[in-house]
């Protein structure tokens, strides 16, 4: 008998996503979900099963790696879905998140030097400085939008400086970055300008390297002399912009709301600021703006979580469901900033397995500094609208659910 198909466009997933995904999770480890105009997809609902899927070599991110596949690859689908010109295909195809096996391992090995612990930790004083300036400006205004006036320029500036964008060019580059998530923006034009800028920056850093990500990527060499191509470097920059900027800029207001909803936890952090680095893990669990993993495709007929999966079937995982899984988290609907977990357990905000987010340490550091400055060093921040008045944009059913604005007063 065919599995019933669940539609993520049902109002319950918008009105009460935690409850809706929780009911799916307790009904079955895998459920069939449908998307408008597309074939059914297996949704993995439980924490440990999602971790297993993200590390299973039989499940690949590039559909063209499925033996005997027919139809467009994931890169082809992305170019078509985003209405990008053909010239962008090499940058999409080189996206590390869309590569499998040896190709993915090779590129990850070459980009890892750009995200070392030493490099990320060295950014702390500069992130502190940027955050303090933005908050001083917001306090001088008296009120504003926490996203537009603080979290977006904070993470956008940090990413620009990490990449190596010249200071004079940063305002324009941040505009291109923000147009990526603007449903009314001209994605193709902003992406083209961004690519042209990065090409010129690569040329300059080849001639005169500095201590930035572009220079590191240009100079990175494997044991056999292997280097990243220009398309791979550009693709990495675009990936960092999309994943490193937008996700963290929306995590920060989500985390603020989570702590305001749990005043006892906020009071604990104000009494013990040293607990904040540990608390970021719990806040990432409850306030992560990225609700689902990218699709994986079965390269063979297999059994997964007790279900028969056919070669070519697509599977995705609900991070939101996994992060509230009572099999891993005791009383998961409670925000507990002192939560202790067993080794190997944890949230999936950064993914898992070979595609674990290489920028996780940076996101963690930015979140720590932002919440320290917003809520611990200051105690005057107020949200000036009710929770019911907040509005979100959901790019696709089950996709990123981003807060439009968060009006605040300092």
φ, ψ at 329 (rounded to 5°): -115, 120
pLDDT confidence of residue 1: 39
DSSP state of 293: P
The total domain count for the chain is 1
CA 65 to chain centre: 24
DSSP 178-238: HHTT-TTS-HHHHHHHHHHHHHHHHHHHHHS--SSHHHHHHH-B-TTS-B--HHHHHHHHH
Helix (H) or strand (E) holding 392: strand 392-394
φ, ψ at 314 (rounded to 5°): -100, 140
Helix (H) or strand (E) holding 145: strand 143-145
Q: In what order do the strands lie in the sheet with 30-34?
A: 5-7, 30-34, 41-44, 314-317, 296-298, 59-60
The Cα angle at residue 304 between residues 67 and 106, in degrees rounded to 5: 50
Per the DSSP assignment, residues forming a β-bridge with 277 are none
d(CA 144, CA 122): 30
d(CA 66, CA 58): 9
Look-up of token digits 């690569």: 202
CATH number at residue 35: 1.10.630.10
Q: What is the pLDDT along the chain (410 residues), one digit of tens a residue?
A: 356 688 877 888 878 889 999 999 999 999 998 766 667 889 999 999 999 999 999 999 988 899 987 776 655 666 666 666 677 778 888 889 889 999 999 999 888 888 888 889 999 999 999 999 999 999 999 999 999 999 999 999 999 999 899 889 988 888 888 776 666 667 778 888 888 999 999 999 999 999 888 998 888 876 677 888 999 999 988 888 777 788 899 999 999 999 999 999 999 999 999 999 999 999 999 999 888 888 899 999 999 999 999 999 999 999 999 999 999 999 999 999 999 988 888 999 999 999 998 889 999 999 999 999 999 999 999 999 998 899 988 766 566 778 999 999 99
Give SS3 for 139: helix
pLDDT confidence of residue 182: 65
For residue 46, the enclosing domain spans 5-409
pLDDT confidence of residue 82: 62
């Amino acid at each position: 008998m065919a599995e019933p198909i669940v539609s993520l466009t049902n109002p319950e997933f918008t009105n009460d996503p935690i409850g809706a995904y929780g009911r799916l999770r307790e009904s079955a480890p895998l459920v069939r979900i449908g998307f408008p105009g597309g074939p059914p997809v297996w949704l993995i609902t439980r924490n440990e099963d999602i971790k297993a899927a993200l590390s299973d070599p039989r499940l690949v991110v590039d559909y063209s790696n499925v033996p005997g596949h027919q139809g467009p690859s994931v890169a082809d689908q992305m170019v078509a879905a985003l209405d990008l010109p053909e010239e962008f295909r090499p940058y999409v195809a080189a996206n590390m998140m869309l590569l499998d096996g040896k190709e993915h391992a090779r590129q990850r090995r070459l980009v890892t030097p750009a995200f070392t612990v030493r490099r990320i930790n060295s950014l702390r004083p500069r992130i502190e400085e940027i955050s303090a300036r933005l908050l001083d400006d917001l306090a001088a205004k008296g009120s504003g939008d926490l996203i537009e006036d603080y979290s977006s320029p904070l993470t956008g500036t940090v990413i620009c400086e990490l990449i190596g964008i010249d200071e004079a060019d940063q305002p324009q580059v941040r505009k291109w970055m923000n147009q990526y998530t603007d449903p009314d923006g001209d994605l193709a034009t902003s992406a083209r300008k961004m690519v042209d800028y990065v090409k010129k920056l690569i040329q300059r850093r080849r001639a005169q390297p500095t201590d930035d990500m572009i220079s590191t990527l240009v100079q990175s060499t494997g044991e056999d002399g292997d280097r990243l191509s220009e398309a791979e470097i550009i693709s990495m920059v675009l990936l960092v912009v999309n994943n490193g900027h937008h996700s963290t800029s929306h995590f920060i207001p989500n985390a603020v709301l989570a702590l305001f909803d749990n005043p006892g936890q906020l009071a604990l952090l104000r009494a013990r600021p040293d607990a904040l680095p540990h608390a970021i893990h719990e806040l990432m669990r409850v306030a992560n703006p990225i609700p689902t993993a990218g699709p994986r495709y079965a390269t063979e007929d297999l059994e997964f979580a007790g279900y028969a999966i056919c070669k070519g079937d697509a599977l995705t995982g609900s991070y939101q469901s996994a992060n509230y899984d009572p099999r891993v988290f005791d009383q998961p609907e409670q925000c507990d900033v002192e939560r202790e977990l067993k080794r190997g357990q944890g949230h999936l905000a950064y993914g898992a397995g070979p595609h674990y987010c290489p920028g996780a340490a940076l996101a963690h550091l930015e979140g720590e500094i932002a919440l320290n400055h917003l809520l611990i060093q200051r105690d005057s921040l107020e949200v000036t609208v009710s929770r019911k008045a907040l509005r979100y944009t959901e790019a696709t059913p089950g996709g990123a659910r981003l807060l439009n604005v968060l009006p605040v007063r300092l």
